[in-house]
Amino acid sequence: MRRTLSRYLIEEQREKGKINADLRLLIEVVARACKSIAVAIGKGAIGGEGGVLGEAGSDNVQGEAQKKLDVISNEIFLEANEWGGHLAGMASEEMELPHAIPNRYPQGEYLLLFDPLDGSSNIDINVSVGTIFSVLRCPEGADPTADTAFLQPGTKQVAAGYAVYGPTTLLVLTVGDGVACFTLDREQGSFVLTQEHLRIPEDTKEFAINMSNLRHWEPPVRRYVEELLAGKEGPRGKDFNMRWVASMVADVHRIMTRGGIFMYPLDAKIKDKGGKLRLMYEANPMSFIVEQAGGAASTGRQRILEVQPNGLHMRVPVILGSKNEVELVTSYHGT
Protein backbone atom coordinates (compact mmCIF):
# COMPACT_ATOMS: atom_id res chain seq x y z
CA MET A 1 0.00 0.00 0.00
CA ARG A 2 1.27 3.50 -0.88
CA ARG A 3 2.21 5.60 2.10
CA THR A 4 1.29 9.20 1.55
CA LEU A 5 2.65 12.19 3.44
CA SER A 6 -0.63 12.29 5.43
CA ARG A 7 -0.20 8.70 6.52
CA TYR A 8 3.47 9.21 7.39
CA LEU A 9 2.55 12.22 9.54
CA ILE A 10 -0.28 10.38 11.28
CA GLU A 11 2.15 7.58 12.13
CA GLU A 12 4.67 10.12 13.47
CA GLN A 13 1.89 11.53 15.64
CA ARG A 14 -0.06 8.48 16.74
CA GLU A 15 2.46 5.68 16.83
CA LYS A 16 5.72 7.47 17.52
CA GLY A 17 4.50 10.54 19.41
CA LYS A 18 7.04 12.69 17.54
CA ILE A 19 4.62 15.43 16.54
CA ASN A 20 1.28 16.78 17.70
CA ALA A 21 -1.86 17.41 15.63
CA ASP A 22 -1.01 21.09 15.09
CA LEU A 23 2.45 20.36 13.72
CA ARG A 24 0.95 17.67 11.49
CA LEU A 25 -1.56 20.16 10.12
CA LEU A 26 1.19 22.75 9.64
CA ILE A 27 3.29 20.36 7.56
CA GLU A 28 0.26 19.28 5.51
CA VAL A 29 -0.48 22.93 4.73
CA VAL A 30 3.15 23.64 3.81
CA ALA A 31 3.08 20.64 1.46
CA ARG A 32 -0.11 21.95 -0.13
CA ALA A 33 1.54 25.33 -0.65
CA CYS A 34 4.51 23.60 -2.30
CA LYS A 35 2.09 21.84 -4.66
CA SER A 36 0.61 25.21 -5.65
CA ILE A 37 4.10 26.62 -6.25
CA ALA A 38 4.94 23.59 -8.41
CA VAL A 39 1.83 24.29 -10.50
CA ALA A 40 2.71 27.98 -10.88
CA ILE A 41 6.31 27.17 -11.89
CA GLY A 42 5.08 24.52 -14.33
CA LYS A 43 3.08 27.11 -16.26
CA GLY A 44 6.22 29.06 -17.16
CA ALA A 45 5.81 31.49 -20.01
CA ILE A 46 2.13 30.53 -20.53
CA GLY A 47 0.99 31.26 -16.95
CA GLY A 48 -1.31 34.23 -16.25
CA GLU A 49 -0.94 37.57 -18.03
CA GLY A 50 2.40 37.51 -19.84
CA GLY A 51 3.64 34.33 -18.13
CA VAL A 52 5.13 33.83 -14.67
CA LEU A 53 8.77 34.10 -15.73
CA GLY A 54 10.94 37.21 -15.51
CA GLU A 55 11.37 40.12 -13.13
CA ALA A 56 8.65 41.43 -10.83
CA GLY A 57 10.12 44.94 -11.02
CA SER A 58 10.69 45.15 -7.24
CA ASP A 59 13.52 44.50 -4.76
CA ASN A 60 13.27 42.34 -1.65
CA VAL A 61 14.61 43.16 1.83
CA GLN A 62 18.04 41.89 0.76
CA GLY A 63 18.12 44.46 -2.07
CA GLU A 64 17.86 41.66 -4.65
CA ALA A 65 15.64 41.97 -7.71
CA GLN A 66 12.55 39.82 -7.21
CA LYS A 67 11.32 37.49 -9.90
CA LYS A 68 7.58 37.25 -10.51
CA LEU A 69 7.69 33.72 -9.12
CA ASP A 70 9.47 34.91 -5.93
CA VAL A 71 6.49 37.16 -5.26
CA ILE A 72 3.88 34.56 -6.30
CA SER A 73 5.48 31.83 -4.15
CA ASN A 74 5.68 34.12 -1.13
CA GLU A 75 1.97 34.99 -1.48
CA ILE A 76 1.06 31.31 -1.83
CA PHE A 77 2.88 30.49 1.42
CA LEU A 78 1.36 33.36 3.38
CA GLU A 79 -2.18 32.71 2.20
CA ALA A 80 -2.02 28.95 2.70
CA ASN A 81 -0.68 29.16 6.23
CA GLU A 82 -2.31 32.12 7.90
CA TRP A 83 -5.83 30.81 8.55
CA GLY A 84 -5.17 27.25 9.79
CA GLY A 85 -4.83 28.17 13.46
CA HIS A 86 -1.51 26.37 13.89
CA LEU A 87 0.80 29.39 13.58
CA ALA A 88 1.78 32.26 15.85
CA GLY A 89 3.73 33.98 13.06
CA MET A 90 5.70 33.68 9.84
CA ALA A 91 8.95 35.10 8.51
CA SER A 92 10.10 34.99 4.90
CA GLU A 93 13.36 35.65 3.12
CA GLU A 94 11.33 37.97 0.90
CA MET A 95 9.94 40.19 3.69
CA GLU A 96 11.73 42.57 6.02
CA LEU A 97 9.47 41.99 9.02
CA PRO A 98 7.58 38.98 10.41
CA HIS A 99 4.11 38.46 9.01
CA ALA A 100 1.47 38.71 11.73
CA ILE A 101 -1.43 36.25 11.70
CA PRO A 102 -4.57 38.38 11.10
CA ASN A 103 -6.74 38.79 14.21
CA ARG A 104 -9.72 37.15 12.55
CA TYR A 105 -7.90 33.79 12.66
CA PRO A 106 -6.95 31.72 15.71
CA GLN A 107 -3.30 31.83 16.78
CA GLY A 108 -1.21 28.67 17.22
CA GLU A 109 2.08 27.86 18.93
CA TYR A 110 4.42 27.55 15.95
CA LEU A 111 6.59 29.90 13.92
CA LEU A 112 7.16 29.17 10.25
CA LEU A 113 10.21 30.52 8.43
CA PHE A 114 10.72 30.03 4.71
CA ASP A 115 12.56 30.83 1.53
CA PRO A 116 9.59 30.51 -0.84
CA LEU A 117 11.65 30.15 -4.01
CA ASP A 118 15.30 29.31 -3.63
CA GLY A 119 17.67 29.46 -6.58
CA SER A 120 15.42 31.84 -8.43
CA SER A 121 18.20 32.85 -10.86
CA ASN A 122 17.50 29.42 -12.41
CA ILE A 123 13.79 30.02 -13.11
CA ASP A 124 14.17 31.67 -16.47
CA ILE A 125 16.49 28.94 -17.77
CA ASN A 126 14.20 26.06 -16.73
CA VAL A 127 16.55 24.54 -14.14
CA SER A 128 15.47 23.16 -10.72
CA VAL A 129 14.46 25.58 -8.00
CA GLY A 130 12.94 24.87 -4.59
CA THR A 131 11.29 25.97 -1.34
CA ILE A 132 12.97 25.67 2.06
CA PHE A 133 11.16 25.87 5.40
CA SER A 134 11.89 25.70 9.11
CA VAL A 135 9.52 25.38 12.08
CA LEU A 136 10.18 26.73 15.57
CA ARG A 137 8.01 27.00 18.67
CA CYS A 138 7.01 30.49 19.68
CA PRO A 139 8.53 31.05 23.15
CA GLU A 140 5.96 31.50 25.89
CA GLY A 141 4.97 35.14 26.24
CA ALA A 142 6.97 36.21 23.17
CA ASP A 143 5.47 38.63 20.67
CA PRO A 144 5.32 36.73 17.35
CA THR A 145 5.18 39.99 15.40
CA ALA A 146 8.68 40.87 16.68
CA ASP A 147 11.97 39.51 15.30
CA THR A 148 13.06 38.39 18.75
CA ALA A 149 10.53 35.54 18.90
CA PHE A 150 12.23 34.00 15.85
CA LEU A 151 15.85 34.48 16.92
CA GLN A 152 16.43 30.96 18.21
CA PRO A 153 19.36 28.71 17.29
CA GLY A 154 18.72 25.92 14.77
CA THR A 155 18.85 23.27 17.50
CA LYS A 156 15.36 24.49 18.48
CA GLN A 157 13.78 23.55 15.16
CA VAL A 158 10.95 21.04 15.47
CA ALA A 159 10.66 20.38 11.74
CA ALA A 160 12.36 21.41 8.52
CA GLY A 161 12.10 20.51 4.89
CA TYR A 162 12.51 21.50 1.30
CA ALA A 163 10.68 20.95 -1.96
CA VAL A 164 12.62 20.54 -5.20
CA TYR A 165 10.79 21.54 -8.37
CA GLY A 166 12.71 19.47 -10.88
CA PRO A 167 11.77 16.75 -13.38
CA THR A 168 9.65 15.53 -10.47
CA THR A 169 8.49 17.54 -7.46
CA LEU A 170 9.94 16.13 -4.25
CA LEU A 171 9.38 17.00 -0.62
CA VAL A 172 12.15 16.12 1.82
CA LEU A 173 11.20 16.36 5.47
CA THR A 174 12.47 15.87 8.99
CA VAL A 175 10.54 16.11 12.24
CA GLY A 176 13.66 15.09 14.16
CA ASP A 177 13.10 11.40 13.43
CA GLY A 178 15.37 10.89 10.42
CA VAL A 179 14.68 12.17 6.93
CA ALA A 180 11.96 11.05 4.54
CA CYS A 181 11.48 11.88 0.86
CA PHE A 182 8.08 12.13 -0.87
CA THR A 183 7.37 12.31 -4.60
CA LEU A 184 4.42 14.32 -5.88
CA ASP A 185 1.94 12.18 -7.76
CA ARG A 186 0.58 14.84 -10.11
CA GLU A 187 -2.56 12.87 -11.08
CA GLN A 188 -3.57 12.12 -7.49
CA GLY A 189 -2.28 15.42 -6.14
CA SER A 190 -0.61 13.72 -3.18
CA PHE A 191 2.94 13.29 -1.93
CA VAL A 192 3.91 9.62 -1.80
CA LEU A 193 6.67 8.32 0.48
CA THR A 194 9.46 7.13 -1.81
CA GLN A 195 12.44 6.97 0.55
CA GLU A 196 12.79 6.73 4.30
CA HIS A 197 15.81 6.99 6.61
CA LEU A 198 17.98 8.85 4.07
CA ARG A 199 21.68 8.58 4.91
CA ILE A 200 24.54 10.69 3.58
CA PRO A 201 27.70 8.61 3.08
CA GLU A 202 30.50 9.83 5.38
CA ASP A 203 33.03 9.92 2.54
CA THR A 204 32.66 11.33 -0.93
CA LYS A 205 34.45 12.17 -4.16
CA GLU A 206 32.19 15.04 -5.14
CA PHE A 207 32.14 18.71 -4.11
CA ALA A 208 29.96 21.73 -4.87
CA ILE A 209 31.18 25.31 -4.69
CA ASN A 210 31.04 28.41 -6.89
CA MET A 211 34.65 28.17 -8.15
CA SER A 212 34.56 31.67 -9.65
CA ASN A 213 35.03 33.01 -6.10
CA LEU A 214 38.28 31.08 -5.51
CA ARG A 215 40.46 34.18 -5.38
CA HIS A 216 38.20 35.70 -2.69
CA TRP A 217 38.08 32.73 -0.29
CA GLU A 218 39.81 32.50 3.07
CA PRO A 219 42.98 30.34 3.19
CA PRO A 220 41.38 27.24 4.85
CA VAL A 221 38.75 26.80 2.11
CA ARG A 222 41.25 27.57 -0.62
CA ARG A 223 43.65 24.98 0.78
CA TYR A 224 40.87 22.36 0.99
CA VAL A 225 39.65 22.90 -2.58
CA GLU A 226 43.17 23.04 -4.01
CA GLU A 227 43.83 19.65 -2.39
CA LEU A 228 40.67 18.25 -3.99
CA LEU A 229 41.68 19.62 -7.38
CA ALA A 230 45.13 18.01 -7.08
CA GLY A 231 43.34 14.65 -7.39
CA LYS A 232 45.17 11.32 -7.23
CA GLU A 233 48.56 13.01 -7.30
CA GLY A 234 47.72 15.31 -4.37
CA PRO A 235 47.51 14.79 -0.60
CA ARG A 236 44.02 13.25 -0.87
CA GLY A 237 45.21 10.51 -3.20
CA LYS A 238 41.95 10.38 -5.19
CA ASP A 239 40.18 12.32 -7.92
CA PHE A 240 37.18 14.50 -7.06
CA ASN A 241 34.30 15.54 -9.29
CA MET A 242 32.61 18.95 -9.13
CA ARG A 243 28.93 19.97 -9.53
CA TRP A 244 27.26 23.38 -9.04
CA VAL A 245 23.59 23.86 -9.92
CA ALA A 246 23.39 27.26 -8.15
CA SER A 247 20.11 26.21 -6.53
CA MET A 248 20.91 25.22 -2.96
CA VAL A 249 17.96 22.81 -2.87
CA ALA A 250 19.19 20.94 -5.95
CA ASP A 251 22.80 20.87 -4.76
CA VAL A 252 21.77 19.68 -1.28
CA HIS A 253 19.37 17.13 -2.73
CA ARG A 254 22.20 15.58 -4.75
CA ILE A 255 24.17 15.27 -1.50
CA MET A 256 21.16 13.69 0.24
CA THR A 257 21.01 11.19 -2.60
CA ARG A 258 24.63 10.22 -3.20
CA GLY A 259 26.80 12.20 -0.76
CA GLY A 260 29.12 15.12 -1.36
CA ILE A 261 30.10 18.40 0.22
CA PHE A 262 28.40 21.76 -0.43
CA MET A 263 30.14 25.00 0.41
CA TYR A 264 29.17 28.65 0.28
CA PRO A 265 32.04 29.92 2.39
CA LEU A 266 32.96 33.40 3.47
CA ASP A 267 34.75 35.35 0.79
CA ALA A 268 36.21 38.84 0.56
CA LYS A 269 33.24 40.16 -1.49
CA ILE A 270 30.59 39.14 1.05
CA LYS A 271 32.63 39.37 4.25
CA ASP A 272 30.72 42.43 5.50
CA LYS A 273 27.43 40.58 5.12
CA GLY A 274 28.73 37.52 7.01
CA GLY A 275 28.19 35.11 4.11
CA LYS A 276 25.83 34.57 1.18
CA LEU A 277 23.22 32.18 2.53
CA ARG A 278 20.67 33.06 5.15
CA LEU A 279 20.80 31.33 8.52
CA MET A 280 17.08 31.22 9.29
CA TYR A 281 15.69 30.29 5.87
CA GLU A 282 18.49 28.27 4.26
CA ALA A 283 21.37 27.23 6.53
CA ASN A 284 19.39 26.09 9.58
CA PRO A 285 16.72 23.96 7.88
CA MET A 286 19.28 22.36 5.54
CA SER A 287 21.66 21.70 8.45
CA PHE A 288 18.89 20.04 10.48
CA ILE A 289 18.05 17.77 7.53
CA VAL A 290 21.70 16.98 6.79
CA GLU A 291 22.48 16.14 10.43
CA GLN A 292 19.37 13.96 10.64
CA ALA A 293 20.78 12.00 7.69
CA GLY A 294 24.15 11.48 9.41
CA GLY A 295 25.94 14.40 7.73
CA ALA A 296 27.49 17.50 9.27
CA ALA A 297 27.01 21.25 8.84
CA SER A 298 29.44 23.94 9.93
CA THR A 299 30.33 27.57 9.30
CA GLY A 300 33.95 26.39 9.36
CA ARG A 301 34.23 27.66 12.90
CA GLN A 302 31.01 26.50 14.54
CA ARG A 303 28.22 23.97 14.14
CA ILE A 304 25.57 25.88 12.16
CA LEU A 305 22.70 24.69 14.36
CA GLU A 306 24.36 26.31 17.39
CA VAL A 307 24.75 29.78 15.88
CA GLN A 308 22.79 32.32 17.93
CA PRO A 309 20.99 34.46 15.33
CA ASN A 310 21.42 38.22 15.68
CA GLY A 311 18.83 39.16 13.08
CA LEU A 312 16.07 37.63 11.01
CA HIS A 313 18.08 37.96 7.81
CA MET A 314 21.51 37.06 9.22
CA ARG A 315 23.87 35.37 6.76
CA VAL A 316 26.45 32.69 7.54
CA PRO A 317 29.14 30.70 5.72
CA VAL A 318 27.81 27.20 4.94
CA ILE A 319 29.81 23.96 4.67
CA LEU A 320 27.64 20.84 4.78
CA GLY A 321 27.30 17.25 3.64
CA SER A 322 29.46 14.15 4.04
CA LYS A 323 30.71 14.15 7.60
CA ASN A 324 34.39 13.37 7.13
CA GLU A 325 34.82 16.09 4.50
CA VAL A 326 33.01 18.74 6.58
CA GLU A 327 35.20 17.83 9.54
CA LEU A 328 38.34 18.14 7.43
CA VAL A 329 37.46 21.65 6.19
CA THR A 330 36.54 22.64 9.73
CA SER A 331 39.91 21.39 11.01
CA TYR A 332 41.67 23.62 8.44
CA HIS A 333 39.95 26.59 10.10
CA GLY A 334 41.85 25.69 13.25
CA THR A 335 38.77 24.75 15.26
Counting Cα atoms < 13 Å in the Cβ hemisphere of 288 gives: 29
Please report how close the Cβ of residue 155 comes to Mg ion at its closest, in angstroms.
22
- Contact between 248 and ligand AHM by CB under 6 A: the answer reads yes
> How many Å apart are CA 115 and CA 77, to the nearest integer?
10
How big is the site for ligand AHM, counted in residues (CB under 6 A)?
12
Buried/exposed 42-75: b ≥16 CB within 10 Å, e otherwise: eeeeebeeeebbeeeeeebeeeeebbbbbbbbbe
- Cα distance between residue 240 and residue 283, in whole Å: 24
Give the E-state strand segments of 166-239 in sequence order. 169-174, 179-185, 190-195, 206-208
Q: Find the part of the chain contacting ligand AHM (CB under 6 A) among 76-84, 156-164, 165-173, 245-253.
A: 245-253
Q: Which does 291 bind (CB under 5 to 8 A by kind): Mg ion, ligand AHM, none?
A: none
118 labelled binding-site residue: yes
The Cα angle at residue 268 between residues 267 and 270, in degrees rounded to 5:
70
> Which residues ranging from 181 to 210 are in contact with ligand AHM (CB under 6 A)?
210
Residue number, 247 or 287, with CB nearest to ligand AHM: 247
314 touches ligand AHM by CB under 6 A: no
Q: Counting contacts by CB under 6 A, is residue 285 touching ligand AHM?
A: no
Stretch that binds ligand AHM, among 2-10, 47-55, 190-198, 244-252 (CB under 6 A): 244-252
- Is 120 a binding residue for ligand AHM by CB under 6 A? The answer is yes
Shortest reach from residue 15's CB to ligand AHM, in Å? 35
Kind and range of the H or E run holding 241: strand 241-242
> What secondary structure letter does DSSP report for 142?
-
Does 147 count as an annotated binding residue? no
Q: Is 246 in the site for ligand AHM (CB under 6 A)?
A: yes
Length of the chain measured in residues: 335
User: Which residues here bind ligand AHM, judged by CB under 6 A?
Assistant: 64, 115, 118-121, 210, 246-248, 251, 264
Binding site for Mg(2+): residue ranges?
93, 115, 117-118, 282
